[in-house]
Amino acid sequence: MTLPLFPLNTVLFPGCLLDLQIFEARYLDMIGRCMKQGEGFGVVCIAEGEQVGQAPAGIAAFGCEALIRDFAQQDNGLLGIRVEGVRRFRVAGTEVLKDQLLMGEVDWLADLPDTPLVEADDDLLALLVALGEHPMVEALGMPREVNGRQSLANQLAYLLPFMQEDKVDLLAMDSPQRRLETIQSLLERIQGELFA
């Protein structure tokens, strides 16, 4: 499957929302095509290089398909879009088109079946509820309901201030159980650094 790629300094997860401001011609064209055809594009984290200008030197090996959920012209005249992460993928190869748009050959990643929340998830669920009250998170209009361990893991991985490499590693995991355990370890590492 070939997918236009949008390299950003962020990692998008399925079920999570992201607001973008579009101003480069290659991305305006890409968004126009996606909207006409009802298709998505891939959000990939920049491993090295810049977000603006020429194609970045390196992107992460994993990304998330984004579908456009809303759009509006911003006060500054630029196009603003809100996208939702849908499916995870692995980047098998890339090609830079004449207009500098990065196209990716992607393999879709299957998620393990979701499992219901358990008592051991209570602390992480409470953390997600607290994060949801932050004005920046509230402005995104993220879903308040968490219907299983997969959505809990995805939302925490997306919202918590982990290093980009850690977020890419979390995105690559197909097990919600493993993702939640890794999030717990990362939180413990951050707490250890704060109180060291």
pLDDT of the chain along its 196 residues, tens only? Answer: 999 999 999 999 999 999 999 989 899 999 999 999 999 999 999 987 554 445 455 899 999 999 999 998 888 888 899 999 999 999 999 999 999 899 999 999 998 888 999 999 999 999 999 998 888 888 888 877 788 999 999 999 999 999 999 999 999 999 999 999 999 999 999 888 777 5
Domain 2-108 listed as CATH 3.40.50.10470: no
Longest dimension (CA), the chain: 53
The CATH number of 119-194 is which of 2.40.390, 1.20.120, 1.10.357, 1.20.58? 1.20.58
Q: In the numeric block, which tokens belong to residue 87?
A: 């499916």
Q: Which residues have a Cβ under 8 Å from the Cβ of 11 and sit 6 or more positions away?
A: 43, 45, 60, 64, 157, 158, 164, 167, 168, 170, 171
For the record, the structure tokens of 143 come out as: 């879903």
Which ranges in the chain are annotated with CATH 2.30.130.40? 2-108
Tokens of 110: 């299957």
For 85, the token pair is 């992460």
Locate CATH 1.20.58 in the chain: 119-194
CA–CA separation, 92 and 94 (whole Å): 7
